Amino acid sequence: MGIAKLLGVFLVMEMTSGFRSGADGLSMGYYIMSCPMAEFIAGGPFYDIPKGRKDGSRSKIEDTRNLPPPTLNASELIKMFGQHGFTAQEMVALSGAHTLGVARCSSFKNRLRDAVDPNLDSGFAKQLIKTCSAGDNTEQPFDATRNNFDNLYFNALQRNTGLLASDQTLFASARTRNIVNGYAFNQAMFFLDFQQAMVKMSTLDVKEGSKGEVRQNCRKIN
């Protein structure tokens, strides 16, 4: 999990038990480094991760404290990913992993308070307010196909129905809007860019020697 922690790019999909909620209320499919078939199984692209890297030998909830809050704007996201060598386009492509899974109300309820987020569709806002009346742990899918890896996440952003502020900012910002529009129009382009960005991510924070392990089961520590 070192790469996800390093970049602050969300959480992990547990393929055997559905989507697991994480420390910050997000529950979506990013990736499991030693199980690169996750998105493929959900209908997304297949990518061949370079062989030889080890998995981390630690998985603690406190390690997620450095994850970025779901309130970051596009400029902040560009800066964060840029610090690790990723372009704005790669950041948007990787954000498309939010095509899978759900988020808890606790991660987006700030958009529904007295002054509703102006970048949020009013009808969608009313739907979310009703959903979240059941409590902070209530879950809402990121898009209409929560178990399918596709480009509907980007279509949702065009309609101002992005769930998190850090989602909708990608369309609200002039710096990333054209990228969103491109992926919404061309799913194949999204898949290709996502593949390439994931392979690039696989070269970060490589564990060597005793710092890592070869797992017997890629979804849990030995």
Q: Does 68 belong to an annotated binding site?
A: yes
Rounded Cα distance between 77 and 120, Å, is: 19
State phi, psi for 47 to the nearest 5 degrees: -140, 145
Q: Does 99 belong to an annotated binding site?
A: yes
Q: Does 98 belong to an annotated binding site?
A: yes
Helices (H), the chain: 2-7, 38-41, 74-82, 88-95, 122-132, 152-158, 165-172, 177-185, 187-201
Rounded Cα distance between 137 and 160, Å, is: 23
Name the nearest CA neighbour of 182 among 209, 212, 211, 151: 151
Q: Does 143 belong to an annotated binding site?
A: yes
Q: Does 150 belong to an annotated binding site?
A: yes
Contact indicator for 145, 43 with CB cutoff of 8 Å: no
Q: Does 64 belong to an annotated binding site?
A: no
Which residues are annotated binding-site positions? Answer: 68, 98-99, 143, 145, 150
Which residues are annotated binding-site positions for heme b? Answer: 98
Which residues are annotated binding-site positions for substrate? Answer: 68
Which residues are annotated binding-site positions for Ca(2+)? Answer: 99, 143, 145, 150
